Amino acid sequence: MALLRLRKKQHLVFLLCVWCLVVDWSKAETEESEGSPMEKTEKDALYSTIQGFVGDSWNGSNLYPDPCGWTPIQGVTCDMYNDLWYVTALSFGTFRENSLACAEIPVIRPQLFELKHLKSLSFYNCFTSPNRYLASIADEKWLNLSKNLETLEIRSNPGLIGELPSFITNLTNLQSLVVLENRLTGSLPENLAKLTRLRRLVLAGNRFTGRIPEVYGLVGLLILDLSRNFLSGSLPLSIGGLNSLLKLDLGNNYLEGKLPRELQSLKNLTLLDLRNNKFSGGLIKEIQEMSSLVELVLSNNHLGEDLTGIEWRNMKNLVVLDLSNTRLKGEIPWSILELKKLRFLGLSNNNLRGKLIREMETEMPCLNALYVNENNISGELEFSKKFYERMGRRLGVWGNPNLCYHGDEIKNLRDHVPFGVKQCERVKDVTLA
């Protein structure tokens, strides 16, 4: 009897559950057919914006009736504000395989500027046909985005020419401005420092000319990359005020003058890359104050002077030190052995003389690339067989006419004979006679 009652109870529970499921399911269906709540103006603005970029044949309302809900569009991100969905991020161009490819001649439609919660906008490989201008849109329209826009990324658009549009400096909430590998020209805006919230500023790989503007006030900046342009003049002293900076890459420009002493304030800097410029005036002592540096790349500059002015032991974090072709003179100092984490030491194409310190083998345990080729290093290479094995082809010693190696150590290891260096001659009995 008790058992039967239990059965009945179970049956009832079961029925209730089925009913719940049915109700739940039908509720979900109505929600689905209504779509995620979204203003019609927002939805239409989104469709029209995308159509401008992708081409007229793209019919959003057909393909993606519920763009923030059940039929999301690649490259579109939405978020909810007051129970309504809004577009917060838009990304165009072939970034991933299934992202929205741009039409041959993409058009920035005015509807873009009606997306009032847009935080992130990016164009990747989008403006590819020649002679496209970003500045074809009136600046006032961009101001509509300035309240919310935090990220603007314009990347790998080989057709994009003209100057950096002036509206950029009015987008005062930007945290990330990436204008990378396009064909933009002209000088950088003087008032770049108005963008005080910037954490990342990348303008690399364009054709910008002129000086680097003052950067006072960008105290939150973590990454500054202006490499691969035609920038000239000296570094602004205000660069020392970028206290938070982690990476500074100004390589491949026409920058000149002495490295500013103000660099010493960049206590958190891990990368300083100034390669391929025209800096002069030697390695300033203040460099040693940047004790967080992991990579210091100054190759191909006109620095001059020698390596003795620096307390290398203050730079214990260095992993990469590249001073190739920087007109260095003098000897390689013993203090360089303090760089215990160093893996790459590039000193090639200088006027260094003296011996190559044998203790590099033991005192710099991580070292696995050493280039001192094209100098005037002399004497005998006294490394062990093990060291030659460890370095392999990453030992560059050629182009030092007065250098030789000891054959006894490595005579059975033809592969590891240091390239371009002759074997030392045996001590001549004749001289003893």
Ligand X SMILES: *[C@@H]1O[C@H](CO)[C@@H](O)[C@H](O)[C@H]1NC(C)=O
Distance in angstroms (rounded) separating the CA atoms of residues 145 and 114: 8
- Tell me which residue of 245, 253, 252 sits closest to 271, measured CA to CA: 245
Report if residue 196 touches ligand X, rule: CB under 6 A. no
Q: How far is the CB of 81 from ligand X (least distance, A)?
A: 12
Site membership for ligand X, residue 142 (CB under 6 A): no
Q: Which is nearer to ligand X, 131 or 191 (CB)?
A: 191
> Could you say whether residue 33 binds ligand X (CB under 6 A)?
no
Q: Looking only at residues 380 through 409 of this chain, which bind ligand X when binding is defined by CB under 6 A? A: 402
The stretch among 55-63, 72-80, 202-210, 329-337 that binds ligand X (CB under 6 A) is 55-63
Q: How far is CA 183 from the centre of its chain?
A: 18
Asked if 183 is part of the footprint of ligand X (rule: CB under 6 A), the reply reads no
- Shortest distance in whole angstroms from residue 398 CB to ligand X: 15
**Inter-residue contact 164 to 174 (CB < 8 Å):** no
d(CA 353, CA 405): 16
3-state secondary structure of 243: coil
Q: Which stretch binds ligand X (CB under 6 A): 91-99, 110-118, 205-213, 314-322?
A: 110-118
Integer Cα distance of 42 and 36 in angstroms:
12
- For position 114 contacting ligand X by CB under 6 A, the verdict is yes
- The region of 59-67, 177-185, 195-203, 302-310 touching ligand X under the rule CB under 6 A is 59-67
Asked if 113 touches ligand X (CB under 6 A), the answer is yes
Q: State the nearest-atom distance from the C-beta of 65 to ligand X, in Å.
A: 10
Amino acid letter for position 402: N
Binding span for ligand X by CB under 6 A among 139-147, 152-160, 225-233, 301-309? 139-147
144 binds ligand X (CB under 6 A): yes
CA 56 to chain centre: 35
Residues 239-258 within binding reach of ligand X (CB under 6 A): 243-244
Nearer to ligand X, 196 or 378 (CB): 378
Closest distance of CB 158 from ligand X, Å = 29
Task: Provide CB contacts within 8 A for 393, sequence distance 6+.
Answer: 419
Which of 61, 71, 131, 362 contacts ligand X by CB under 6 A?
61
Residue 191 binding ligand X, by CB under 6 A: yes
30 Cβ neighbours under 8 A, 6+ residues apart = none
Cα distances (Å, whole numbers) of residue 137 to 109, 133, 167, 181, 298: 9, 9, 10, 21, 40
Q: Which of 94, 148, 170, 368 binds ligand X (CB under 6 A)?
A: 170
Which of 231, 169, 164, 158 lies closest to 198, judged by CA?
A: 169
Residue in 278, 340, 343, 353 binding ligand X, rule: CB under 6 A: 353
Least separation in angstroms between residue 195's CB and ligand X is: 11
Residue recorded with tokens 């006294």:
382
Is 30 a binding residue for ligand X by CB under 6 A? The answer is: no
Residue closer to ligand X, measured from CB, 51 or 252:
51
Among 94, 185, 378, 423, binds ligand X (CB under 6 A): 378
Q: How far, CA to CA in Å, does 187 sit from each of 58, 206, 225, 229, 396?
A: 38, 11, 15, 10, 40
Cα–Cα dist 113/137, whole Å: 10
Q: Which two structure tokens, joined as six digits, stand for 144?
A: 């509509």
State the amino acid at position 123 in one-letter form.
F
Q: Residue 376, interface with ligand X (CB under 6 A)?
A: yes
* Residue 169 makes contact with ligand X by CB under 6 A: yes
C-alpha closest to that of 114 among 52, 161, 159, 69: 52
116 touching ligand X, by CB under 6 A:
yes
Token pair 């592969």 is found at 415
Contact positions vs ligand X (CB under 6 A): 59, 61-62, 110, 113-114, 116, 141, 143-144, 169-170, 191, 243-244, 268, 353, 376, 378, 402
